[in-house]
A and B are shown apart, each in its own frame.
Chain A
Amino acid sequence: MLYRNVKFLIVGILFGIVFIKSEVISWFRIQEMFRLQSFHMYGIIGSAIFVGMISVFIIKKFKIKTISGEDIHFHTKIFNKGQVYGGLIFGVGWAITGACPGPLFAQIGTGATVIIVPLLSAILGTWVYGKFRESLTH
């Protein structure tokens, strides 16, 4: 199990380094973004989508397989109202904590140990969603 997953740990480490070096995980940068005071975050998100799109296009076009020779699968996302309600709720949390789930992990890594609290609270939020899922509008 460890051997098969260590490559994802390494991708995570590299991703975490980019997160910190580009200040994406900074609460200040998120505030600037939501006040239209800087292009930085828009440039990062926009160019990330652009590179992701081109990569997916190349993978599909040349039917590139994984390193173990499997066909690559893409999961279709089906629309439901949760993307609207949940999206708005996450947006509120994003502006307050200045972090989406990924940055929470990276922030803890930088020694901001108190961010363990928002992370645990996010896990609780996920759990509460799971508990009341049936009674929420989707």
Chain B
Amino acid sequence: MFMRSFLEQPWPWYVAGPLVGLTVPALLLLGNKSFGISSSLRHVCAACIPAKIPFFQYDWKKEIWNLFFVAGILMGGFITYYFMHPGPVVVNPALVNELSGYGIHDYHSLVPTELFNWSALFTLRGALMMIGGGFLVGFGTRYAGGCTSGHTIMGLSTLQWPSLVATICFMVGGFVTANLILPYILKL
């Protein structure tokens, strides 16, 4: 009974955070792999569209574990969503209030369906958020040499100050955008 309700409820931070942290030793012990996710995007480029660019000239097959890892993340998403039935996301009422001003009312999916759907892709707002936002994620993480996993979790776990610089910049970029820029995009 407890197990069942635990599996169906959203997990609190003090359960989820340590489990995320355990990914670091799990990957190290299983195969000497440094936790990092954005590199998978580079491996896809190296495998599919290297176009003689030096940055993509390396033996990506040696890094294939990373593609198995992200394929697992995708499958984990599928399993959880279809078999563990997450409920609607409960967020701060102030956010609910703000977002309702932009016509966002549906919290049943982890991804706001009113913003991210196939027909929204053909609107200015949807295209900016999905195509533009995605591009910045891929360009920025590679320019920074890592993302939240490679820098914030793996880099800080190994006490590397360049990762602290990167993490602070991720947060500054996010704070400025969410509070000062995103409202204009959501109004479109």
B139 close to A95 (CB less than 8 A)? no
> Contact between A16 and B174 (Cβ–Cβ < 8 Å)?
no
Q: Determine whether the beta carbon of B65 is less than 8 Å from that of A83.
A: no
B37 touches which of A20, A46, A102, A118 (Cβ 8 Å):
A102
| A-B CB pair tally, cutoff 8 Å | 505
Q: Is the interface of B mostly helix, strand, loop or mixed?
A: helix
Q: Are B95 and A17 in contact (CB under 8 A)?
A: no
Scan residues 43-92 of chain B and give those whose CB is less than 8 A from a CB of chain A.
44-45, 49, 51, 53-56, 64-66, 68-82, 84, 86, 89, 91-92
Given A11-B26, A26-B111, does the pair A16, B56 have CB atoms closer than 8 Å? no
Residue-wise interface mask of A (57-99) relative to B, using a CB-CB cutoff of 8 A (1 in contact, 0 not): 0110000101110101111111110111111111111111111
A104-126 vs B, Cβ < 8 Å mask (1 yes, 0 no): 11111111111101111111111
A110 partner, pick from B110, B178, B181, beta carbons under 8 A? B110
Number of interface residues of B (CB under 8 A): 131
A91–B151 alpha-carbon span in the complex (Å): 13
Residues of A within 8 A of B (CB): 1, 4-35, 37-53, 55-56, 58-59, 64, 66-68, 70, 72-80, 82-102, 104-115, 117-131, 133, 136
Task: Point out residues on B near A: beta carbons under 8 Å.
Answer: 7, 10-35, 37-38, 40-42, 44-45, 49, 51, 53-56, 64-66, 68-82, 84, 86, 89, 91-92, 94-95, 99, 107, 109-113, 115-118, 120-121, 128-149, 151-163, 165-179, 181-182, 185
